[in-house]
Structure 1
């Protein structure tokens, strides 16, 4: 993945500590999630010297904990954009894994319908697309990295790719994935891939020099 001022990359937070006693928006990265982010941060350290970069993130703790090491490694300020949050599912609060997966299936399957009080997929898609375009406009001339969440990230991907909302396009389990898109054409340059391969090609190029 080569960064240019025309590039935007959406990265989802990796694994978290699931705690039913804590608000989902305040969940922290797990040790594995933090380790994955730290490894990515080591790879991005020199990228801002080849292309100016702007970094934004959701105001949810797990997104901040994903974005902060990357912003520090790049030497750039981190801008929090609260409206890039995950789909609003506060009506149900924490759901056990099986129940959550059924609810998520229904969320994607009925984009215009609020399932048990959740924000509709259609509304969440409009929100994340609006926020992505706003972030682009605020950071002209720089590559843009957005750290966020799986459901709204998938909805953004569907909007950019011209696809119907469908969980078929959801990120792989566990989080810590990314896709890139072209800011001029607003078309995806890739589908979801694990953060372990993001910028790996640039690191190999530096090793050969």
Structure 2
């Protein structure tokens, strides 16, 4: 089994590009608490998105496990650079459109269908490098949801999204493609196989 983990809460700063946001104090505390969980030691490889918030999360976990964090392209969040920062209510409305119309761009955002193909290809490339090594992939909520839909053979839908706030994980395999457990808070261990 491999685990896809979304970064937890971030430090929101409208003056900083979203991919450069780091973890908030709450997000860092949650990550440090996860780093102390014994069950995390089952994972022997950590691969992260290039975005700061994912890298920050992975770095804490890698230090605790004595693992070097690998950074791979293609694991980034859906491209929202056309709008940049949006206030929460506006962001949620555009995110609803993103999931509801996967083949259309919402205000210039990357389409959900394209983001899904990208994240699936990127995760597959990561796992194909070492298929028998339990891998922790640290990424983002929207593309994590798209990955979940693809692996589970489900249509793209925001109903599949992680709970608010981030910092959730889901278990998966690629051969065969399957979601082994749905979103769980990062503090909770995966279910026993």
TM-score by length of structure 2 reads 0.95
Mapped to 2, the partners of 1:62 and 1:187 lie a distance apart of: 27
Maintained 8 Å contact 2:73/2:122: no
Residue 22 of structure 2 corresponds to residue 31 of structure 1: no
Corresponding residue for residue 120 of structure 1: 111
Which residue, out of 95, 101, 104, partners 1:110? 101
Corresponding residue for residue 8 of structure 2: 14
Equivalent pairs counted in the alignment come to 192
Structure 2: gaps spanning 5 or more residues: none
Distance of aligned partners of 1:98 and 1:182 in 2 relative to their CA distance in 1, 3 Å threshold: same
Maintained 8 Å contact 2:103/2:113: yes
The alpha carbon displacement at 1:140 in A equals 2.8
Maintained 8 Å contact 1:54/1:145: yes
Give 1 or 2 for the bigger CA radius of gyration: 1
Maintained 8 Å contact 1:178/1:192: yes
Map of 1:51-200 to 2, 5 A cutoff? 51=42, 53-198=44-189
Maintained 8 Å contact 1:14/1:29: yes
Corresponding residue for residue 4 of structure 1: none
Structure 1: gaps spanning 5 or more residues: 1-6, 202-209
Mapped to 1, the partners of 2:114 and 2:21 lie a distance apart of: 24
Distance of aligned partners of 1:146 and 1:176 in 2 relative to their CA distance in 1, 3 Å threshold: same
Mapped to 2, the partners of 1:31 and 1:52 lie a distance apart of: 25
Distance of aligned partners of 1:71 and 1:200 in 2 relative to their CA distance in 1, 3 Å threshold: farther
The alpha carbon displacement at 1:69 in A equals 1.1
TM-score by length of structure 1 reads 0.88
Aligned alpha-carbon RMSD (Å):
1.6
The alpha carbon displacement at 1:157 in A equals 0.1
The alpha carbon displacement at 1:183 in A equals 3.5
Maintained 8 Å contact 2:49/2:139: yes
